[in-house]
Structure 1
């Protein structure tokens, strides 16, 4: 009975819907990237958004058709999941790597001279952010290499999880920057969609992560305290004492 219930959950229509939805979102993000803000003559915005609409519209009906065919045993869900997961990984890898290559070829972090010469208090958060990140070309290249390498790692099952974790930490940071520094809507949407996609890939292996982070103990030697209360006091003291030290430093500021 338990095995049957587990199988129902595994093959539920909700799993099909969310998997298809993630692919639709990541494919839409890829189309937006290829559209390049309407600057490519052979791929105008009307075509970009038409394809996005078709892909998102398909998300609503494809899981239902899939579920129906599965019940009639006319479709191999395992192979189909493999195709969908591969599509998600490819879209994310292409998208994130493209942003990395743009940094190599000077297509990001470029601030026009008329903007750069303006006083800081007259510039938008977006231009200040681009000026800051563009100040160091080396730093931009490092970010680019992380993006390209992380995208490449997604394309192999053995390195999928580590690639997703690396990209998630990067993309979450970029998403927060895009939100709180008021970056343009396109950049924000891209970062959100990519973050969702990478988080989805991580969630597929959540059991491994829980086992690794919560059940695996460190092999580092440690102090042996018989008194648990004293041990916990010492742990908390690292946070409290650092706070008190900061308050003291604040008091020195005139």
Structure 2
């Protein structure tokens, strides 16, 4: 059964979705090409014109799909040519945009180096900036993403390879849509990515009968091992063991969850002498911030404003909830033979606590506050 036969004589929504994705997507692609070429003097009209064009395209697709459906119900309308034309239009505008996005990555137009983002702290970056910095970090990753987009787009241009192109592109586009949604990339980018993803799904569903038949006919020719009961037990264990392992690990890690966070050292005494407020500028052991992380990681940082790896100390810790103390493992002097440093915790409240410890030959008391 062909894709046209699947859609033919179906409900109105099937016709609307195909015409909507083909017409609105093609209009969006045309705007993508034309609007950046317009003179700067009329840039203020770009968005109104773009939204007007998209609005008219949406209205036309709704009206035409209603007309199409009524004519087909009367038996006076041959849907096959329209399905073919809309499907071709859909495939071509998606291929055009995906090829453009792919080539942008290869030529470093997309995810290119950003000077201000590179000089910004990651904690203050917006979602789009963080995404740009992450994907722009590795040119190799960008090329791989571009490869999938370009190969998939080229396959869309040929009817026989359309399904293979969809199979390659759909996971990529679903990932892009999720990034655009949860990292607030931008309404136009999000709209375009959703259109492409829905277009791929529409083309995929056109061939659902052939796909279902393929899986119904496919049989693994390798012999089964064991009986049904043993295979069922193996499957259940394969699911339960990782789940139970993660539950146990999560429980063990979160026993010390109340300590997780960024702790400011409000007062530090070393060998009975108060460490001066600005001593951290000359003494890297005059800690101003202590970061307690999951997985037993602890960082002692002298800089009160930002974490600096070169001047900070990394230690591992084990928390004893009953004794209310940490056993801190220091690799500072001898990484092969680390030192275990007991840290006694007192006066713990949700946002403050006191530490007493002996760091090598120094007796240290600290007051910490979140």
Aligned to 1:175: 177
Would you tell me which structure has more helix in proportion to its own residues? 1
CA distance in 2, matches of 1:231, 1:67: 50
Residue 155 of structure 1 and its aligned partner are, at CA, apart by 1.5
Aligned to 2:320: none
Mark the CA change 1:7 to 1:96 in structure 2 (over 3 Å): closer, same or farther: closer
Give 1 or 2 for the bigger CA radius of gyration. 2
Return the TM-score normalized by structure 1: 0.84
Structure 2 residue matching 1:10: 3-state secondary structure: coil
CA distance in 2, matches of 1:63, 1:207: 23
Aligned length: 244
Would you tell me which structure has more strand in proportion to its own residues? 2
Question: Which of 139, 156, 166 is the equivalent residue of 2:141?
Answer: 139
Question: Which of 60, 63, 66 is the equivalent residue of 1:61?
Answer: 63
CA distance in 1, matches of 2:214, 2:180: 31
* Aligned 8 A contact 1:154 1:163 in 2: yes
* Aligned 8 A contact 1:133 1:139 in 2: yes
Structure 2 residue matching 1:182: 3-state secondary structure: coil
Residue 236 of structure 1 and its aligned partner are, at CA, apart by 1.1
Mark the CA change 1:243 to 1:174 in structure 2 (over 3 Å): closer, same or farther: same
| Structure 1 residues not aligned, in runs of 5+ | 1-5
* Aligned 8 A contact 1:31 1:52 in 2: no
**After alignment, is 80-89 or 108-117 more displaced?**
108-117
In angstroms, what is the RMSD of aligned CA positions? 2.7
Residue 149 of structure 1 and its aligned partner are, at CA, apart by 1.0
Residue 29 of structure 1 and its aligned partner are, at CA, apart by 3.3
Residue 231 of structure 1 and its aligned partner are, at CA, apart by 1.8
Mark the CA change 1:111 to 1:179 in structure 2 (over 3 Å): closer, same or farther: farther
Residue 68 of structure 1 and its aligned partner are, at CA, apart by 5.2
Provide, for residues 199-220 of structure 1, a one-character-per-residue CA deviation record: whole Å limited to 9, x for no partner: 0000111122223345522234
Return the TM-score normalized by structure 2: 0.59
Mark the CA change 1:174 to 1:11 in structure 2 (over 3 Å): closer, same or farther: closer
**After alignment, is 130-139 or 110-119 more displaced?**
110-119
